[in-house]
């Protein structure tokens, strides 16, 4: 059983991770954690590697060293160039 958790560092995401941890323990599942970030041009590989490391450490800390099986993925998207006419300042 795989349990997917979207993680942005919010309290809600942390609660979802804790719940996923309980379910993974109960059912022998694996947690798959994904975080989405928008890249800036040009692509900075060292910044992405650093963000991946930060995510992995944060998840490990949230799981408190538990032996629950998990993996992390950083999903890097391009800035929305074709979003003309959309006020992105209101999307936070």
Q: Which residues pair with 37 in a beta bridge?
A: 76
For residue 73, being part of any structural domain is answered with yes
Position 91 scores a pLDDT of: 47
For residue 19, being part of any structural domain is answered with yes
Position 81 scores a pLDDT of: 59
For residue 91, being part of any structural domain is answered with no
For residue 83, being part of any structural domain is answered with no
Domain total for the chain?
1
pTM value is 0.78
- Tens-level pLDDT at each residue, the chain (92 residues): 999 999 999 999 999 999 999 999 999 999 999 999 887 777 778 888 999 999 999 999 999 988 889 999 999 887 765 555 545 454 44
């Amino acid at each position: 059983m795989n349990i997917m958790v979207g993680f942005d560092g919010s309290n809600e995401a942390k609660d979802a991770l804790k719940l996923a941890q309980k379910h993974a323990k109960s059912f022998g599942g694996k947690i798959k954690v994904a975080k989405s970030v928008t890249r800036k041009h040009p692509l900075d590989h060292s910044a992405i590697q650093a963000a991946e490391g930060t995510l992995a450490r944060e998840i490990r800390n949230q799981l408190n060293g538990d032996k629950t099986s998990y993996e992390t993925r950083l999903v890097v998207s391009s800035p929305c160039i074709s979003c003309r006419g959309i006020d992105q300042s209101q999307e936070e």
